Amino acid sequence: MDLRLSRESAPYVFISPFYIMFAIFGAFPIIFSFYLSFNMWDGITEMKWVGVENYIFVVTDPWFWKAIGNSLIIFLMTTIPQHLIALTLAYMLYLGTIKFKEFFRSAFFLPYITSAVAIALVFQLLYGQHFGMINAMLKWLQAVPGIGGLFELMHLDLPIRWLGDPKWVKPAIALMVTWKFTGWNLILYYAALQNIPTTLYEAAKVDGASPIQIFFKITIPLLRSVIFFAVTMSIIGNLQIFAEPYMLTGGTGGPANSGLTAAMYLYNTGFKWAEFGTGSAMAYVLCSFIVVFSMLNKYFFRDKG
């Protein structure tokens, strides 16, 4: 076979697979989804045009708002600690006086590569009410003088029903997500820290700045664009969170649907109840939320940099 490409046409041929694949599996479904969102369809009987009815149904559906609310709370509960911990630990590793750097970096990153489904099974056991490791630890901590009093002050009733009490389901999901994704952010921040010219630090040191001052006055401002990127990824990821809550609540959404996320509700609407039209409308509403939050994030982190 002698199929020779000219130098002019070769690049187009080489990049074409992406655009072809995206047209079929990306763009077409998105457009089709938009069309579907104005129709009623169960995938079997005939499609019926209903106009904006699906959208009206979605925005007036209390369960949808509950699910959006759950997603937002989980998003805040995990994103804030994730980035704070990641930044702090990355800065410590970066400062350079630490041994076993490689080990720490790899260890922190390890959770990211594992399957959410597999890890959720382990966390279900860790969260066990009577025999779970986390409650056992809390019980041991309670015996430490001072900490027991602190627990009482916080109205912490041990043992905690992590996955059985509506109040604790969201923290339980957020904790597992934090465990899984902090390392990813850490690696990102660590790499970004290494790109900051060391002369800046040396100058600050000569001026007598402490590491903590340097962190807030030099490091954080210079990391603005990376923080923007990392938080954007957190928004896109966490507002679509599915596998973790699905697994931790056994696919049900948990007690009083306290762990029902928007993605799970969309899954139920589309695939359990075969409401393809309503599900598509829901997807569009959910994605507009993601866009709004990404823009807010841009306003906070990017434009001033």
Partner 1 sequence: MRKNKKPIKILTMIRKTLMYLMLGVGAVITIFPFYYMLVLSTKSREEIFSFPPPLWFGTKFFDNLHILLEKMPIFKALWNSVFVAGSQTILVLFFCSMGGYAFAKYKFKGKEALFSAMLATMMIPQLLSIIPWFIMMRHFGWINTFKPLIIPMIANPFGIFLMRQFMEGIPDSIIDAARIDGAGEFRIFWKIVLPISLPALGTLGIFTFLGSWNQFLQAMLILQEKEMYTLPVALSKLAGKAASNWGASMVGTVIGTLPVVIIFIFASKQFIAGMTAGATKE
Q: Does 267 bind partner 1 (CB under 8 A)?
A: yes
Q: How far is the CB of 153 from partner 1 (least distance, A)?
A: 23
32 vs 63, beta carbon nearer partner 1: 32
Q: At a CB cut-off of 8 Å and minimum separation 6, what does 227 contact?
A: 83, 87, 189, 220, 301
Interface residue with partner 1 among 65, 201, 215, 229 (CB under 8 A) is 229
Nearer to partner 1, 168 or 184 (CB): 184
- Is 49 strand, coil or helix? strand
Binding-site string for partner 1 from residue 167 to residue 186, where x marks contact by CB under 8 A and - marks none: ------------x---xx--
With CB under 8 A as the contact rule, the residue among 92, 141, 204, 218 that binds partner 1 is 92
CA dihedral for 239, 244, 250, 251, sign (positive or negative): positive
Extract the tokens encoding 11.
């690049």
Per CB under 8 A, the list member of 109, 151, 201, 215 interacting with partner 1 is 109
Report if residue 201 touches partner 1, rule: CB under 8 A.
Answer: no
Taking CB under 8 A as the criterion, the residue among 84, 125, 150, 220 binding partner 1 is: 125
Distance CA 290, CA 198 (A): 37
Give the list of residues 6+ apart from residue 238 with CB closer than 8 angstroms, or none: 71, 74, 75, 78, 79, 177
Is residue 71 within 8 A of residue 241, CB to CB? The reply is yes
Rounded Cα–Cα distance for residues 296 and 224 (Å): 14
| Residues 19-38 within binding reach of partner 1 (CB under 8 A) | 19-22, 24-26, 28-30, 32-33, 36
Binding segment for partner 1 among 52-60, 65-73, 147-155, 188-196 (CB under 8 A)?
188-196
Q: Which of 123, 127, 181, 301 binds partner 1 (CB under 8 A)?
A: 123
Verify binding: residue 147, partner 1, rule CB under 8 A. Answer: no
In one-letter notation, the amino acid at residue 190 is: Y
Q: For residue 113, give the DSSP letter.
A: G
Q: Scanning residues 36 to 75, which ones bind partner 1 (CB under 8 A)?
A: 36, 43
By the 8 A CB rule, do 256 and 219 touch? no
CB of 155 to partner 1, least distance (A): 24
Give the separation between CA 134 and CA 81, rounded to whole angstroms: 19
